[in-house]
């Protein structure tokens, strides 16, 4: 792709610190003033609202949508269907036996959110009863369960039903979706609109390419498939990886195991939490009785995270200051110079996922914990344990794989559109149109596609905005009697050229590994702009960017 116009949208012009909200409110938590700002800016308000007169919609063209997954996106879609699309039949398919998505699948010790609890909720359904500043998986799942049942969303979903193939039928203007449902077997469903709400981090990655894989006879498990029946007490345990799940797991199991060996491919920056501890019953009462107070606190948190965006730009004063502060923190917290050298990254802060934790750096310095890297990292496996790159055999009672997920955005099943199989189309690089659609795959939308807002702020408001965009797209097709909409090829190319050019200046393209980048070092997971910029883009579709095919009679 050459000579592509990279002038796409004005993300470069957004300077968060110049926003009046920051200048007037951020440092002084004045509830009345902040609440007024919220009402003016409407930035913490969702595009959704439960009080909707659905009468004008009842005589519109009937359509059918299939949503893959019943995590946060599926729950939001089912709620918006009731509020905005009573004439659109919605069917969700969930491969798991129950809803909750990532918070059903990830239950390892210490599993918790890395976003403050009050930020991690739907804007239309705040939770005044969060127990702690950063909630664990169980409490988060219970929140989603409460919301799902309150809005009667589970009736839209079939569980233990895995989508295995999706094929676009051009003549019909419909997707044919193959489903394998436990106890039923395989069948094909059809829909006008296909919504992929599977998320990104849901296919556990195992080190299957290492020599000797499958020969180990001891106990093993992936953090995303935790075996709660296995007792780690007193065991000689290895954990492979130092990503987000390892950072949370290690402090939880280190006091229990006999010895813990941490196999570190590369070090990670452990950030400081601004909020910590548990909420008192009095604080919860305040949140319940004064929703404006809770909303104002949530807005303050949101803007604090948004302000962090400046720190993610290479060479910015904020990035330089943070890098220096983190180096000083590691020097203070890790007295042993050799261990400090092993644990201290040399890449910019934020290049990999920002991981806040209070106890990780303490846990890896405990007497019963050893961190190994370099030639001592995993080279292969044998029946009793791990063989290092240097050839040393290390026996273990249990190996924990904190090896992350396949995050190349390619679905684990065939999606065949106008231009072929998405697996082939994305063989070189996963690219879509503004993270929400893909040229050549009509009426296909995704809530977290390539170059989405995965490290900008709380993901739930972004999911709401994205589902709201899809609702508008369906409404547009109904109002204009369209068979399908498909993002234009040249527009998609311009977006991706702009994105890759823009992201070169961000720390995500720095000298670190991780799933933000593809195998060629291109940043495919991050939105090219701030969280606010993403919100603005999802406010409404730009129909000049789509090819539109009318219904034929």
- Extents of the domains making up the chain: 10-203+407-550, 219-268+352-401
E strands present in 411-490: 414-417, 420-421, 444-446, 482-487
Pull the structure tokens for residue 233: 């007490």
Q: Is there a contact between 398 and 109 (Cβ–Cβ < 8 Å)?
A: no
CATH number of 219-268+352-401: 3.50.50.60
Query: Which residue is associated with the tokens 């005044």?
Result: 128
3-class SS string, 278-289: ECCHHHHHHHHH
Q: How far apart are CA 402 and CA 380, in angstroms?
A: 16
User: Comparing 10-203+407-550 with 219-268+352-401, is the CATH topology the same?
Assistant: yes
Pull the structure tokens for residue 113: 């959110």
- List Cα–Cα distances, 50 to 54, 154, 285, in angstroms: 11, 18, 24
**Structure confidence at residue 519 (pLDDT):** 84
Which residues neighbour 149 within 8 Å (Cβ) at sequence distance 6 or greater?
A: none
What kind of architecture, by CATH, is found in domain 10-203+407-550?
Answer: 3-Layer(bba) Sandwich (3.50)
Residue 55 burial by CB count (10 A; 0-12/13-18/19+): exposed, middle or buried?
Answer: exposed
Q: How far apart are CA 432 and CA 527, in angstroms?
A: 12
- The length of the chain is 553
Q: Is there a contact between 461 and 44 (Cβ–Cβ < 8 Å)?
A: yes
Cα 184 → chain centroid: 31
**Structure confidence at residue 39 (pLDDT):** 43
Pseudo-torsion of CA 411, 414, 418, 423, nearest 10°? 60
pTM score, whole prediction: 0.89
Q: How far apart are CA 376 and CA 340, in angstroms?
A: 17
- Tens digit of pLDDT for each residue in 172-214? 999 999 999 999 999 999 999 999 999 888 899 999 999 999 9
Which residues neighbour 461 within 8 Å (Cβ) at sequence distance 6 or greater?
A: 44, 46, 122, 123, 302, 535
Pull the structure tokens for residue 152: 């009667």
Query: Which residue is associated with the tokens 């803007």?
Result: 303
Pull the structure tokens for residue 341: 């050298």
- Tens digit of pLDDT for each residue in 449-462? 999 988 878 999 99
Q: How far apart are CA 540 and CA 472, in angstroms?
A: 7
Instruction: Count CA atoms within 13 Å of residue 504 on its CB side.
Output: 7
pLDDT along the chain (553 residues), means of 10: 33 28 34 44 39 54 96 96 94 97 96 94 95 96 97 97 97 97 97 95 93 97 96 98 96 98 96 89 96 92 90 95 96 97 96 91 98 97 98 98 90 96 95 97 96 87 94 95 97 96 95 88 93 91 96 80
Q: Is there a contact between 319 and 312 (Cβ–Cβ < 8 Å)?
A: yes
Which residues neighbour 444 within 8 Å (Cβ) at sequence distance 6 or greater?
A: 168, 175, 193, 194, 196, 415, 417, 437, 438
SS3 content of the chain, % helix, strand, coil (to 5): 35, 20, 45
**Structure confidence at residue 202 (pLDDT):** 86
């Amino acid at each position: 792709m050459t000579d592509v116009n990279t002038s796409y949208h004005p993300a470069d012009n957004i300077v968060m610190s110049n926003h009046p909200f920051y200048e007037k409110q951020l440092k002084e938590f004045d509830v009345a003033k902040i609440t007024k700002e919220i009402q003016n800016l409407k930035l913490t308000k969702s595009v959704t609202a439960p009080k909707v007169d659905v009468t004008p919609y009842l005589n519109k063209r009937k359509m059918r949508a299939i949503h893959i997954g019943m995590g946060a996106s599926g729950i939001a879609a089912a709620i918006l269907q009731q509020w905005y699309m009573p004439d659109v039949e919605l069917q969700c398919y969930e491969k798991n036996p129950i809803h909750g998505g990532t918070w059903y699948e990830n239950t390892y010790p210490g599993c918790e959110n890395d976003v403050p609890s009050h930020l991690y909720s739907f804007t239309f359904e705040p939770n005044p009863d969060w127990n702690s500043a950063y909630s664990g998986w169980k409490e988060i799942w219970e929140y989603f369960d409460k919301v799902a049942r309150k809005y009667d969303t589970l009736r839209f979903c079939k569980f233990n039903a895995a989508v295995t193939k999706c094929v676009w039928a051009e003549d019909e203007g419909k997707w044919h979706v193959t489903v394998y449902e436990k106890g039923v077997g395989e069948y094909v469903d059809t829909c006008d609109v296909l919504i992929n709400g599977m998320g990104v981090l849901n296919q556990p990655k195992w080190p299957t390419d290492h020599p000797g894989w499958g020969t180990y006879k001891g106990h093993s498990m992936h953090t995303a498939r935790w075996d709660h029946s296995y007792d780690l007490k007193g065991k000689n345990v290895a954990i492979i990886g130092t990503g987000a799940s390892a950072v949370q797991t290690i402090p939880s199991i280190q006091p229990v195991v006999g010895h813990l060996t941490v196999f570190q491919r590369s070090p990670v920056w452990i950030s400081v939490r601004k909020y910590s501890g548990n909420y008192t019953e009095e604080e919860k009462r305040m949140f319940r009785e004064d929703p404006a107070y809770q909303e104002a606190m949530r807005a303050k948190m949101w803007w604090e995270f948004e302000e962090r965006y400046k720190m993610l730009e290479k060479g910015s004063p904020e990035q330089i200051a943070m890098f220096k502060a983190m180096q000083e923190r590691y020097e203070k917290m890790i007295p042993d110079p050799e261990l400090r050298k092993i644990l201290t990254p040399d890449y910019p802060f934020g290049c990999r996922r920002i991981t806040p934790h209070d106890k990780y750096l303490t846990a890896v310095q405990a007497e019963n914990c050893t961190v190994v890297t370099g030639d001592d990292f995993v080279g292969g496996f044998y029946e009793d344990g791990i063989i290092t790159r240097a050839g040393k055999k290390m026996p273990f009672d249990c190996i924990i794989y904190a090896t992350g997920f396949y995050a190349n955005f390619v679905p684990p099943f065939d999606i065949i559109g106008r231009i072929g199989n998405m697996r082939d189309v994305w063989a070189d690089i996963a690219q879509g149109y503004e993270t929400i659609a893909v040229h050549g795959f009509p009426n296909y939308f995704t809530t977290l596609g390539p170059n989405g807002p995965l490290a900008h702020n709380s993901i739930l408001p972004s999911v709401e905005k994205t589902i709201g965009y899809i609702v508008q797209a369906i409404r547009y097709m109904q109002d204009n009697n369209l068979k399908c909409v498909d993002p234009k090829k040249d527009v998609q190319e311009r977006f991706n050229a702009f994105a890759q050019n823009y992201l070169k200046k961000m720390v995500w393209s720095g000298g670190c590994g991780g799933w933000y980048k593809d195998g060629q070092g291109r940043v495919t997971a991050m939105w090219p702009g701030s969280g606010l910029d993403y919100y603005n883009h999802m406010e409404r579709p730009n129909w000049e960017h789509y090819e539109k095919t009318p219904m034929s009679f």
